[in-house]
Amino acid sequence: MSTTKYHHSKLQSPKILFLRFSSIGDIVLTTPVIRCVKKQIPGCTIHYVVKANYANVLKNNPYIDEIIEYDSNWDALMSDLKYNQYDYIIDLHHNIRTLRIKQILNVKSFSFPKLNIQKWLYTSLKINLLPNTHIVDRYFKTVQKLKVNNDGNGLDFFIGNQESLKENDLPTTHLFGFIAIVVGAALETKKMPVEKIIELCNKINYPIILLGGKEDIKAADEICKIDEVKIYNSCGKFSLAESADIIRKSKLVITHDTGLMHIAAAFKKPILSIWGNTTQKFGMFPYYGNISAPHMAFEVDNLQCRPCSKIGYHRCPKKHFKCMQMQNINLIASTAMQWIKEIK
């Protein structure tokens, strides 16, 4: 059933319900709106509905009064939501489920336009009618009528005191600086093949920590074989918060289009982002707000098949996977090494 696990303060009025079920990156991208609503609407209470397996993304967020976890028990979820008697709904997911919630609760709601037609035109016909606007700035248009403005402070990710890395969690070879490389991604067409990551790591003369989930352990072990002193495999060994702390402690982050990319942006880390079947033009590149932080994106231009999906596939539909196979590994590595020299 849905439960309300985390409580940060006493409930007050007006009571506002945020809707965003998944996933890690998408949820992190909603955090500026949460912060600004909380700070700019006097006395408001914020509840946030999220799938249970993503609640950890928000559990330490001080701007949320209550997290309501959804674990597929629709009746239990709706019972909770009806009982809470909200004044407003801010729908930043905008799908069939959130439409049902809005219809059933029947209170004033503000919904994020997903631009699905424009995304389809771009992925299917390569006609780009998408606005040249980051998704965070589009999120803020959702709350314009509530007179909430973007404060320019970027994304948030909070790590609890008990969740940060312990002193002996990382090898001593990496305690004085390392590059974090995110080897995983939700779908195969969003991440480089193992042999390309091996090539990249070979060209980087600096300690490296590989980040990913349990599903990435085998690939990361293969990468580590090239130099088990220089490269540390953290895949599957740490919680999301601990992995975020690795990112926070890193000198710079090399990452695919993933949730950890957005967590890196929340910590204002220098980012080298690598794009496969997706594209920055969907408006989900690293977001720093008005705060200056270095970011460079690596994309294979002039591929007629790209972007082929707004999300990704388990394998390249064209079977050649040129969007990742043709990445300029020399340039990524040389940029990383140059930035390391410049970072104090």
277-286 confidence digits (pLDDT tens): 999 999 999 9
Is it the case that residue 3 has pLDDT exceeding 80? no
Inter-helix orientation angle 194-203/329-342, to 10°: 40
- Give yes or no for a contact between 178 and 208, defined as CB atoms under 8 angstroms apart: yes
Give how far Cα 250 sits from Cα of 51, 58, 102, 253, 262, Å.
Answer: 29, 22, 42, 7, 15
* Model pLDDT, residue 157: 98
One of 3.20.190.10, 2.60.120.10, 3.40.50.2000, 3.30.930.10 is the CATH number of 172-342, namely 3.40.50.2000
* Model pLDDT, residue 167: 82
User: How far is the C-alpha of 320 from the C-alpha of 282, rounded, in Å?
Assistant: 23
Percentage of the chain beyond pLDDT 70 is 96
Percentage of the chain beyond pLDDT 90 is 92
* Model pLDDT, residue 11: 37
* Model pLDDT, residue 45: 97
Tell me, yes or no, if the two domains 3-146 and 172-342 fold the same way. yes
List the alpha helices (DSSP H) in the chain.
Answer: 24-28, 31-40, 74-84, 96-105, 116-120, 135-142, 194-203, 217-224, 240-249, 259-266, 322-325, 329-342
Is it the case that residue 220 has pLDDT exceeding 70? yes
Edge-first strand listing for the sheet containing 45-51: 3-7, 66-70, 45-51, 15-19, 88-91, 108-111
**287-307: pLDDT as tens digits:** 999 998 999 999 999 999 999
* Model pLDDT, residue 92: 98
* Model pLDDT, residue 327: 98
User: How far is the C-alpha of 31 from the C-alpha of 27, rounded, in Å?
Assistant: 7
Is it the case that residue 35 has pLDDT exceeding 50? yes
How many helices (H) and strands (E) the chain has is answered by 12, 12
Neighbours of 237 (CB within 10 A): 16
Question: pLDDT band for position 13 (50/70/90)?
Answer: confident
Q: 3-146, which class in CATH?
A: alpha beta
User: How far is the C-alpha of 215 from the C-alpha of 286, rounded, in Å?
Assistant: 24
Record the tokens describing residue 88, joined without a space.
């407003």
Nearest alpha carbon to residue 234 among 218, 210, 255: 210
User: How far is the C-alpha of 73 from the C-alpha of 2, rounded, in Å?
Assistant: 6
Domain ranges of the chain: 3-146, 172-342
Question: pLDDT band for position 9 (50/70/90)?
Answer: very low
Q: Which helix (H) or strand (E) holds 59?
A: none
Is it the case that residue 6 has pLDDT exceeding 60? no
**202-217 burial, b for 16+ CB within 10 Å, e for fewer?**
eebebbbbbbbeeebb
Nearest alpha carbon to residue 29 among 160, 180, 172, 133: 133
**37-57: pLDDT as tens digits:** 999 999 999 999 999 999 999
Neighbours of 126 (CB within 10 A): 12
What is the overall mean pLDDT for the chain? Answer: 94
**Vertex 223: Cα angle to 218 and 225 (nearest 5):** 100
Is it the case that residue 7 has pLDDT exceeding 50? no
Question: pLDDT band for position 10 (50/70/90)?
Answer: very low
**157-209: pLDDT as tens digits:** 999 989 999 889 999 999 999 999 999 998 999 999 999 999 999 999 999 99
Q: Can you spell out the DSSP letters for 158-218?
A: ---TTTSPPTTSS-GGGTT--EEEE---SSGGGS--HHHHHHHHHH--S-EEEE--GGGHH
Place of tokens 């609503």: 37
Compute CA 91 distance to the chain's CA centroid, rounded to the nearest angstrom: 18
pTM reported for the whole predicted model? 0.94
Question: pLDDT band for position 2 (50/70/90)?
Answer: very low
